[in-house]
Amino acid sequence: MSSWNVSDRALDVSSCAQEPIRTPGAIQPYGLILVLDPQTLVVKERAIAHADLLDTFGDPLGHPIDAVLGGALARCRPALEAIKPGTTQFLGAHSIGRHGGHHTLAHRLGEDLIVELEAPVPGEPGSLEDLYPAIRRFMEAIERVETTRELCELASVEIRELTGFDRTLVYQFDKDWNGAVVAEDGNGVLPSYLDLRFPESDIPAQARALYRQNRVRLIADSDYQPVPLVRSAEHAGAAPTDLSPAMLRSVSPVHLQYMRNMGTGASMSVSLLREGELWGLISCHNAQPKRVPYHVRTACEFIGQILSLQISLKERAAGVEARIARRAIQVRLLGRMAGDTDFMAALGRDQLNLLALTHSTGAAIVHRGECLLHGDCPSRAQVMELVQWLSVQQHEGDLYCTERLPQLWKPAESFADVASGVLAISISQIHDSFVLWFRPEVVRTVRWGGDPRKEETGLPLSPRTSFEGWKETVQLQSLPWDDVDRDAALELRTAIVDIVLRKAEEMAALNEQLLRSNKELEAFSYSVSHDLRAPFRHIVGYSELLGSSAGERLNESEKRFLATIVESAQSAGTLVDDLLSFSQMGRSTMGQISMDMTALVEDVRHKLDMEYAGRSIRWQVPHLPRVQADPGMLRLVWQNLLSNAIKFTRDSAEPTIEVGHQRGDSEDVFYVKDNGCGFDMRYVDKLFGVFQRLHHADEYEGTGIGLANVHRIVTRHGGRTWAEGQLGEGATFFFTIPFVTGDNA
Q: For residue range 487-541, what is the model confidence (pLDDT) as tens digits?
A: 998 888 888 777 765 665 556 566 666 666 556 555 555 555 555 556 766 676 7
Task: Please determine, for residue 643, whether its predicted confidence score (pLDDT) is greater than 60.
Answer: yes
- Name the phi and psi angles at 437, rounded to 5: -120, 145
Question: Helix or strand or coil: residue 149?
Answer: helix
Can you tell me the mean pLDDT for 13-27?
74
With bands split at pLDDT 50, 70 and 90, how would you rate the model's confidence at 279?
very high
CA angle 392, 490, 326 (to 5 degrees): 140
In contact, 261 and 467? CB cutoff 8 Å: yes
Per-range mean pLDDT, top range of 206-220, 391-405, 533-547: 206-220
Q: Which of the pair, 707 or 420, is modelled with greater confidence? A: 420
pLDDT of residue 6 exceeding 60, the answer is no
Angle at 699 between CA 698 and CA 701, to 5 degrees: 75
Global pTM value = 0.61
CA separation, residue 493 to residues 408, 607, 643 (Å): 24, 62, 55
Q: Please say if the pLDDT value at position 9 is more than 80.
A: no
Residue 37: the pLDDT is 92
120 touches 92 (CB < 8 A): no
The larger pLDDT score, comparing residue 369 to residue 480, is at 480
CA angle 682, 688, 692 (to 5 degrees): 75
Alpha carbons 300 and 162: distance in angstroms, whole number: 8
Q: pLDDT at residue 577 above 80?
A: no
For residue 226, the model assigns a pLDDT of: 95
Mean pLDDT of the residues in the chain:
82
The predicted pLDDT at position 453 comes to 55
User: Per this entry, what is the length of the chain?
Assistant: 745
Alpha carbons within 13 A on the beta-carbon side of 209: 9
The percent of residues above 90 in pLDDT, for the chain, comes to 39
- The rounded distance, in Å, linking the Cα atoms of 595 and 274 is 78
Evaluate if residue 368 carries a pLDDT over 90. no
Q: Is the pLDDT of residue 188 over 90?
A: yes
For 603, phi then psi, to 5°, come to -65, -45
pLDDT given at position 466: 52
Determine the pLDDT at residue 583. Answer: 53
State the pLDDT at residue 360. Answer: 92
pLDDT, residue 364, reads: 92
Would you say residue 244 has pLDDT above 60?
Answer: yes
The mean pLDDT value for 242-267 works out to 91
CB 705 within 8 A of CB 578: yes
User: What is the predicted pLDDT for the residue at 554?
Assistant: 75
In this structure, the number of other CB atoms found within 10 A of the CB of residue 261 comes to 16
Q: Tell me: the pLDDT tens digits for 452-500?
A: 555 433 333 345 555 555 555 557 788 889 889 999 988 888 887 777 6
pLDDT at 13 over 60: no
Q: Any alpha helices (H) in 409-555, and if so which ranges?
A: 416-419, 483-549
Cα angle 304, 310, 316; round to 5 = 135
Question: What pLDDT does residue 10 have?
Answer: 44
Whole-number pLDDT of residue 590:
67
Determine the pLDDT at residue 465: 54
Residues 6+ apart with CB under 8 A from 179: 171, 172, 173, 197, 198, 200, 202, 203, 280, 281
pLDDT at 504: 55
Give residue 14's pLDDT: 46
pLDDT of residue 462: 44
Q: Residue 568 pLDDT > 80, yes or no?
A: no
pLDDT at 697: 45
**Which of 47-53's residues contact partners 24+ apart within 8 Å by CB, and which partners?**
47/227, 47/228, 47/229, 47/230, 47/248, 48/227, 49/119, 49/227, 50/99, 53/96, 53/97, 53/99
pLDDT of residue 174: 87
pLDDT value of position 295? 92
Least confident of 55-69, 76-90, 431-445: 431-445
**In this predicted model, what pLDDT tens digit does every residue of 154-165 receive, in sequence order?**
999 999 999 999
- The predicted-structure confidence for 339-362, as pLDDT tens digits, reads as follows 666 767 777 788 888 899 999 999
Query: What is the per-residue pLDDT across 294-346, written as a single tens digit (0 to 9) for each?
Result: 999 999 999 999 999 999 888 888 888 888 888 888 888 887 777 666 767 77
Following CA atoms 572, 578, 584, 585 in sequence, which dihedral angle do they give, to the nearest 10 degrees? -160
pLDDT on residue 444: 58
Q: pLDDT band for 702, please (50, 70, 90 cuts).
A: very low
Average pLDDT rounded to a whole number, residues 399-408: 90
Tell me the per-residue pLDDT of 414-446, one tens digit each, with 9 for 90 and over. 998 899 999 998 887 666 788 999 999 876 555
pLDDT confidence of residue 89: 93
Beta strands at 88-95 and 101-109: parallel, antiparallel or unpaired: antiparallel
What is the per-residue pLDDT for 196? 84
Mean pLDDT of the region 667-695: 78
Give the pLDDT band (50/70/90) at residue 632: confident
Q: Is the pLDDT of residue 628 over 70?
A: yes
